[in-house]
């Protein structure tokens, strides 16, 4: 049985500030990398205990070179670096029994710790009219391959977001939202125990949890934080200008829509 893990950083316990999420943060960032690696290891350990024979971990934060391979659980293989064609879900395909999202954060505009959707340029991301964040976007890619997302960990807000979107999947709230840059966090030892147990349950329940699917055709709409960003995104062939700050794209399937959305955001960010 193969298990896929997409690992982000903002939803790791103890992380509450942008300084901790990139190399500019110095030792704060190096500490965050260790915390991230250990939470991933706990999920890998639980998956293996539940019968996983192969675990693939995709580093899904920022430049995607955060996880410390020298400290990674020996049962895992690591995908790292960027850009990758499928970004946070690179390497995911129909050969996996299930997927975990570890260290995830809430969508842009929500009351979550370090909440955003991919970049700071995005105010709202819609798929067929429904507002989603990275959890929904990445779960829909998994759904295209028939793979259910069975475990989501992060702050209390993303846990609620995941349940509302994916149904009764396993979740671990490693910290409670206080403000966008403040949280009540659980200590690592407690978090690791919760993740191991949740991973075991998630693998055992994988066959009972349906994949999250977006029915084609797929229309995405990205509302940017100002019109200049939308001006840049609109340069992409096939882009549809919806209003002053919103650009859309219509695709025959979600995999195409996912890559188009990433391209729109990349143009805007540059």
Secondary element (H or E) of residue 2: strand 2-7
Beta strands in 75-198 (DSSP E): 76-79, 98-104, 122-127, 130-131, 149-155, 170-179, 182-185
- Residue 130 to residue 191: CA distance in whole angstroms: 31
The DSSP-derived string for 52-81 is: -SEEEEEE-STTS--S-GGGS-TTEEEE--
- Residue 150 to residue 200: CA distance in whole angstroms: 11
Catalytic: 73? Answer: no
- Residue 79 to residue 91: CA distance in whole angstroms: 8
- Residue 133 to residue 71: CA distance in whole angstroms: 30
Single out the catalytic residue among 63, 116, 192, 226: 116
- The residues assigned a catalytic role are 116
């Amino acid at each position: 049985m193969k298990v896929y893990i997409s690992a982000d950083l903002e939803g790791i316990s103890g992380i509450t500030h942008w300084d901790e999420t990139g190399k500019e943060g110095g030792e704060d960032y190096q500490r965050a990398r260790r915390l991230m690696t250990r939470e991933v290891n706990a999920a890998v350990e639980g998956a293996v205990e539940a019968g996983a024979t192969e675990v693939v971990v995709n580093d899904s934060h920022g430049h995607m070179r955060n996880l410390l391979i020298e400290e990674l659980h020996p049962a895992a293989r690591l995908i790292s670096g960027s850009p990758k064609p499928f970004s946070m879900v690179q390497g995911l395909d129909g050969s996996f029994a299930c997927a975990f999202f570890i260290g995830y954060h809430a969508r842009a505009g929500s009351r979550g710790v370090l909440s955003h959707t991919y970049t700071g340029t995005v105010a709202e991301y819609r798929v067929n009219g429904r507002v989603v964040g990275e959890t929904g976007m990445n779960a829909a890619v998994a759904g295209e391959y028939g793979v259910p997302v069975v475990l989501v960990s992060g702050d209390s807000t993303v846990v609620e977001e995941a349940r509302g979107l994916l149904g009764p999947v396993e979740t671990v709230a490693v910290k409670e939202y206080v403000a966008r840059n403040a949280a009540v966090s659980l200590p690592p030892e407690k978090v690791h125990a919760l993740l191991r147990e949740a991973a075991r349950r998630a693998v055992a329940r994988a066959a009972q949890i349906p994949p999250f699917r977006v029915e084609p055709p797929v229309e995405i709409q990205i509302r940017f934080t100002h019109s200049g960003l939308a001006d840049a995104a609109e340069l992409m062939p096939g882009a549809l200008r919806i209003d002053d700050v919103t650009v859309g794209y219509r695709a025959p399937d979600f995999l195409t829509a996912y890559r188009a959305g990433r391209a729109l955001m990349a143009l805007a960010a540059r």
